[in-house]
Amino acid sequence: MKILIINGPNLNMLGSREPEIYGSRSFESYLAELRELLEGDEIDYRQSNHEGDIIDWLQDADADGIILNAGAYTHTSLAIADAIASITIPVIEVHISNTAAREPIRHTSLISPVCRGSITGFGLKSYFLAAQAIILG
């Protein structure tokens, strides 16, 4: 399986950004572990703080499934939602924290309605769970 992981704004700061919410581990160190867990599957990883990059990656993706943590764009970007709706590759929405247990602005996701499913609140393990959902179909 070919899986594309796209992380949105501020996720490049994992490990140092609000460790009480997001943990103290960088995504790069977790990615190495994830690749070991998913040995035999191809994992492509991208991160950007720019909405247009995320849209381009969604539209140009060559993968069996996409794991998307759109960060704060989850709650604000109709453009990312439209990009997801325009492709046939299944997209799994992921969040490290439980967004429903956070500030009210984080309770609404503009991308959930166009994603195959959502996994939130399991820390970095949310990515592994999303990969399993893609692999198992």
Catalytic (active site) residue 95: yes
Residue of 22, 30, 73, 127 with catalytic role: 22
The pLDDT, as a whole number, for residue 60 is 98
The pLDDT > 90 percentage for the chain reads: 83
Residue of 73, 95, 107, 127 with catalytic role: 95
pTM above 0.85, yes or no: yes
pLDDT of 27-43, one tens digit each?
999 999 999 999 999 99
Catalytic (active site) residue 127: no
Answer for the pair 22, 97: CB distance below 8 angstroms, yes or no: yes
Label residue 136 by pLDDT band (50, 70, 90): very high
